[in-house]
Amino acid sequence: MPLPNHVHVAGYDVCTDHYINGKRVTSDSHFEIHCPIDQRRLGEVAEGRDEHVEAAIQAAQAAFPAWSALTAAERLPYLQRYAEEIGKRAEMLCTVESNDAGILLSRMRHGVVPRAMQNILWFAQHALDLQNRPIDTEQAHHLVRHDPAGVAVIITPWNAPLMLSTWKLGPALAAGNTCILKPPEWAPLTCSILADAADAAGLPAGVFNVVQGIGATTGAALVRDPRVARISFTGSVPTAKLIAQAAGANLVPCSLELGGKSPFIVLEDADLDGAAATAALMYRNAGQVCLAGTRLLVHRGVADTFVAKMRALVEGLVVGDPREEATEVGPIIHPRQVERVKGFVDRAVVGGATLLWGGGPHPFGAQYFQPTLVTDLKQDDEIVQNEVFGPVLTLQTFDDDDEAIALANSTDYGLGGVCYGETTHATALAERVRTGFIWVNSFGIRDLAAPFGGIKRSGIGREGGDWSFEFFSDIKDVVVPKKPFRASFAHR
């Protein structure tokens, strides 16, 4: 039997209460969570109401003066211990998130959990370099400071709860802010484990808080509060618009990392084996990856060969239980998302599109969808223009570079991209794609020092490196003149 106010997941008991001011706090209201692997009910999670939001904001405010007064060097040991405590819970985090969000267990073990630890450690170390940055001019010495901003609200999505929570928490805490994390309601459990790790690491009460709940109520109450200094959100465009409206009323800075409809360009001089292998990776996490290159744009002269090579790889993909080592494509998170994905494909076919493979539910289970490729599309088709967020790719062909660029830049999104071709050629073309980042002859290479984010409907702001600290800090210039200063109306 699970402990009171816990759910039992594959041998692990996970607390389902909020974490506020260093203590677990229950609620009279709860919401259900289900396992996407087999739709079984995992249990109930405490739902944040106004009183929980108020308590979390008060706790974060009260903890801010002492936490922000520490230097980056003084905060470093806390965050090092936090990363260590995350590492101690590695297998628990892997198992729970695989059951809660349907993410491949192998990917959790070899990619996500090591990255989660790195997210905390790297930003804690990088903060040491941002204490004071001098700028020397003819008139004055400038000392540029990154001062803590205040209470930061962090809202993360269900497709990567652990990785994206730590990706935001790392710089927010290292910069000296106190934080309130609102987990995704479809996959909240690893965020609760992050609270246990923070408690074990000795983070002072109120520095890190977790308030669970539904976005339209709990999330809305957090983002509209004028005491919040920063809001960092990853998720959908419609939700981001609501957050931006609420934040705008209080002039609170927002970082919004949103959807993608990224081009995957295959040039005539591309390594087709490499391009096909990378294209098959776009079905990873059942296509629930915002930065995936979901629009295959292939030179007409190599399209048939490319499709044949990719088909052979896709036919070999193992769709199934994400807890099995051999599985390569797992479930879609929720029945509503399955219907959304199926609707995109069905409407495309009715509109005259051709299915090259896939196109419907997978026999493995109700929340599994076949890896799908759709072609014979019009540029204004919704499946070309809008994010599907499932294992569905589209295929279009082009005859020259200008047409490739026109197709690549034809949507309202601009998050990522991929370009395969002879390196010089592919690099030159990649520079013309309107997007926040683009990989040449590769995919998924990430460095915490590099900027990450999109343009157009794919978001506002950049995360990573100095960009994260610029968002989570108040930048202050301390100006000391080199010569004696005498005030006059000439000085402006």
d(CA 80, CA 123): 10
List the domains of the chain with CATH numbers: 6-258+458-477 (3.40.605.10), 263-440 (3.40.309.10)
User: 318 CB contacts (<8 Å, ≥6 apart)?
Assistant: 326, 327, 328, 329
Amino acid letter at 397? T
Q: List, in order, residues 6 or more apart from 156 with CB less than 8 Å away.
A: 164, 165, 168, 181, 182, 183, 184, 191, 234, 235
Strands 413-414 and 392-398: unpaired
Q: Which structure tokens are listed for 437? A: 């980042």
pLDDT at residue 203, rounded to an integer: 98
Q: Which of 389, 290, 282 is nearest to 344 (CA)?
A: 389
DSSP string spanning 435-488? SS--EES-S----TTS-B--EETTEES-BSHHHHHHHHEEEEEEEEESS-----
| Cβ(377)–Cβ(348) below 8 Å | yes
- What is the pairing mode between strands 372-375 and 392-398? parallel
Sign of CA dihedral 222, 224, 230, 233: positive
Beta strands 30-34; 41-46: pairing state: antiparallel
**pLDDT (0 to 100) of residue 95:** 97
pLDDT < 50 positions in the chain? none
Residues with catalytic roles: 257, 290
Res 491: pLDDT: 53
| Pick from 153, 166, 155: nearest CA to 198 | 166
Q: Which of 285, 301, 260, 267 is nearest to 104 (CA)?
A: 285
Where b means 16+ CB within 10 Å and e means fewer, 472-487 reads bbbeeeeeeeeeeeee
Q: Each residue of 42-87: pLDDT tens digit?
A: 999 999 999 999 999 999 999 999 999 999 999 999 999 999 999 9
CA angle 192, 464, 442 (to 5 degrees): 105
Predicted confidence at residue 133, as pLDDT, reads: 80
Q: Exposed, middle or buried, 20 (CB in 10 Å: 0-12/13-18/19+)?
A: buried
For residue 149, the model assigns a pLDDT of 98
In 3D, which of 463, 447, 465 has the Cα closest to residue 152?
Answer: 463
According to the model, what pLDDT value does residue 180 have? Answer: 98
The whole-number pLDDT of residue 490 equals 60
Alpha-carbon dihedral sign for residues 335, 339, 345, 350: positive
Q: Is the pTM of this model over 0.85?
A: yes
Rounded to 10 deg, the angle between the 189-200 and 161-174 helix axes is: 40
Q: Is 190 helix (H, G, I), strand (E, B) or coil?
A: helix
Q: What's the pLDDT at 1?
A: 61
CA proximity to 396, closest of 279, 225, 266: 266
Residue 317 pairs with which residues in a beta bridge? none
